[in-house]
């Protein structure tokens, strides 16, 4: 193990990364809160400012993936569609199979310049998570309770609000509705059987209502659906903790651009269309398993320096402030203050470890 790799695997390095992420995140959340009065005066300006503030948080995780772990991301796509990526609004349909699939999605957002404005249909519980969830509130992320009777109205309303969004965005939809596990797959395939639908090997049966409501409400605002299928080389199952440890992975993403006009308006037809799409996605995953690659040419976008620059800025600022605080603490000479500070730091470190090791947040109470 080289010296750099040894440094990356040290608990202290990881603790510093988490400290910078959490403290800068809370500062950004506070700044976002300060933009509230601006919404009354100029909504579009408030949105643009929040896009940049949100970028300060999400790009730190992207920097950890791209620069700290050195994970490589390869894009398989049609070169004719490539110039449109980042230059139009789009609905992204992605398989939900890995702990860091959202982070790989964010990396592609960063490379095409839509990271700050990217959106997702997320479960409501995530909106309560400090830093990320609070940031999402100001970025007008669409939350669902996964109770259709309530979601059909609230989700449609939140999507309508995005129609005049001032910057291009990608709206991510995990149609499977939850992350794939063998148990969930088994239940899902029983549902497929009972509905007379073909079984899927690599995906859960897609939930069709969220897709239909998104397509209907973003018609005319979004130009296309980006059907995206993600996998990792060497059968790896990457984790956030692995990224923090500096472990390098290799992600492959296959993207097909489908113009929105091609998607049926009728709910039942739209649902049938989505089921067919997932059968195709399944065949792409089978192709990947057999050959180690997706079909089509590779046109990989390079990583950009901005995520790293933002990260270094926050690291310098917050480590300097931490240094000042520690110096003052030691020079205060009060044993009680020092012990209380140590107890606080140890509790914070313990909490951070728990969040990162259980980082899928899947087990947070519903």
Ligand X SMILES: CCCCCCCCCCCCCCCCCC(=O)OC[C@@H](O)COP(=O)(O)O
Ligand Y SMILES: CC/C=C\C/C=C\C/C=C\C/C=C\C/C=C\C/C=C\CCC(=O)SCCNC(=O)CCNC(=O)[C@H](O)C(C)(C)COP(=O)(O)OP(=O)(O)OC[C@H]1O[C@@H](n2cnc3c(N)ncnc32)[C@H](O)[C@@H]1OP(=O)(O)O
- Tell me which residues touch ligand X (CB under 6 A): 17-18, 21, 60-61, 64, 96, 102, 123, 126, 132, 178-179, 355-356, 359-362
Q: Residue 312 binds which one of ligand X, ligand Y, none, with CB within 5 to 8 A depending on kind?
A: none
Instruction: Tell the smallest beta-carbon distance from residue 228 to ligand Y (Å).
Output: 4
CA distance 146 to 126: 13
246 binds, among ligand X, ligand Y, none (CB under 5 to 8 A by kind): none
CA neighbor of 260 nearest in space, from 293, 226, 234: 226
Please, what is the minimum distance in Å from the beta carbon of residue 292 to ligand Y? 21
Alpha helices in the chain (DSSP H): 3-8, 11-34, 36-41, 43-63, 101-111, 132-138, 148-161, 182-194, 209-218, 240-244, 267-291, 306-332, 335-357
In the complex, the smallest distance separating the C-beta of residue 355 from ligand X, rounded to whole angstroms, is: 5
- Give the residue with the Cβ less far from ligand X, 289 or 357: 357
Q: Which does 170 bind (CB under 5 to 8 A by kind): ligand Y, ligand X, none?
A: ligand Y
For strand 250-259 and strand 224-232, is the pairing parallel, antiparallel, or unpaired? antiparallel
Q: Which value, in Å, is the radius of gyration of the alpha carbons in the chain?
A: 22
Shortest Å, Cβ 143 to ligand X: 12
Nearer to ligand Y, 197 or 338 (CB): 197
Cα–Cα distance between 6 and 263 in angstroms, integer?
50
Query: Which residues of this chain interact with ligand Y, rule CB under 6 A?
Result: 85, 92, 94, 102, 105-106, 108-109, 118, 120-123, 126, 144, 146-148, 151, 170, 172-175, 177, 187-188, 191, 204-205, 207, 209-211, 226, 228, 255
Nearest to ligand X of 19, 85 (CB atom): 19
- What does 66 interact with, of ligand X, ligand Y, none (CB < 5 to 8 A by kind)? none
Residue 95 touches which member of ligand Y, ligand X, none, C-beta under 5-8 Å by kind? none
Nearer to ligand X, 77 or 208 (CB): 208
Rounded-to-integer distance, Cα 120 and Cα 10, Å: 33
- At a CB cut-off of 8 Å and minimum separation 6, what does 249 contact? 69, 71, 72, 232, 233, 236, 238, 242, 243
Q: Least distance from C-beta 18 to ligand X, angstroms?
A: 5
Q: How near is the Cβ of 71 to ligand Y at its closest, in Å?
A: 15
Copy the structure tokens of residue 62.
């992207």
- Dihedral through CA 19, CA 24, CA 29, CA 33, nearest 10? 140
Pairing of the two strands 224-232 and 170-173: unpaired
Which partner in ligand X, ligand Y, none is near 51 (CB below 5 to 8 A by kind)?
Answer: none
């Amino acid at each position: 193990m080289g010296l750099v790799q040894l440094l990356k695997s040290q608990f202290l390095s990881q603790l510093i990364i988490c400290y910078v992420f959490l403290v800068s995140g809370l500062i950004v959340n506070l700044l976002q809160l300060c933009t509230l009065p601006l919404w009354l005066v100029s909504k579009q300006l408030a949105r643009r400012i929040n896009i940049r503030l949100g970028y300060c948080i999400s790009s730190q995780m992207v920097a950890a993936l791209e620069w700290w772990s050195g994970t490589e991301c390869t894009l398989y796509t049609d070169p004719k569609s490539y110039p449109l990526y980042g230059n139009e609004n789009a609905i992204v349909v992605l398989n939900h199979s890995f702990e860091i699939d959202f982070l790989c999605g964010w990396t592609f957002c960063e490379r095409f310049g839509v990271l700050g404005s990217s959106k997702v249909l997320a479960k409501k519980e995530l909106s309560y998570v400090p830093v990320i969830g609070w940031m999402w509130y100001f970025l007008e992320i669409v939350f669902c309770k996964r109770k259709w009777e309530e979601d059909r109205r609230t989700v449609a309303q939140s999507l309508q609000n995005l129609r005049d969004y001032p910057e291009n965005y990608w709206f991510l939809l995990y149609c499977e509705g939850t992350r794939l596990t063998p148990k969930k797959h088994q239940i899902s395939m029983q549902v497929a059987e009972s509905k007379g639908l073909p079984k899927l090997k690599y995906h859960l049966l897609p939930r069709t209502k969220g897709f239909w409501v998104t397509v209907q409400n973003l018609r005319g605002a979004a130009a296309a659906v980006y059907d995206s299928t993600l996998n990792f080389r060497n059968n790896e199952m990457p984790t956030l903790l692995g990224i923090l440890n500096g472990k390098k992975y290799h992600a492959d993403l296959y993207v097909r651009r489908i113009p929105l006009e091609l998607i049926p308006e009728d709910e039942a037809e739209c649902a049938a269309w989505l089921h067919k799409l997932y059968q195709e996605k399944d065949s792409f995953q089978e192709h990947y398993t057999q050959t180690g690659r997706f079909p089509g040419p590779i046109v990989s976008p390079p990583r950009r320096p901005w995520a790293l620059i933002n990260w270094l800025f926050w690291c310098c600022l917050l480590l300097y402030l931490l240094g000042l605080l520690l110096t003052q603490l030691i020079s205060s000479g009060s044993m009680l203050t020092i012990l209380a500070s140590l107890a606080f730091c140890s509790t914070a470190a313990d909490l951070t470890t728990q969040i990162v090791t259980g980082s899928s947040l899947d087990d947070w109470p519903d």
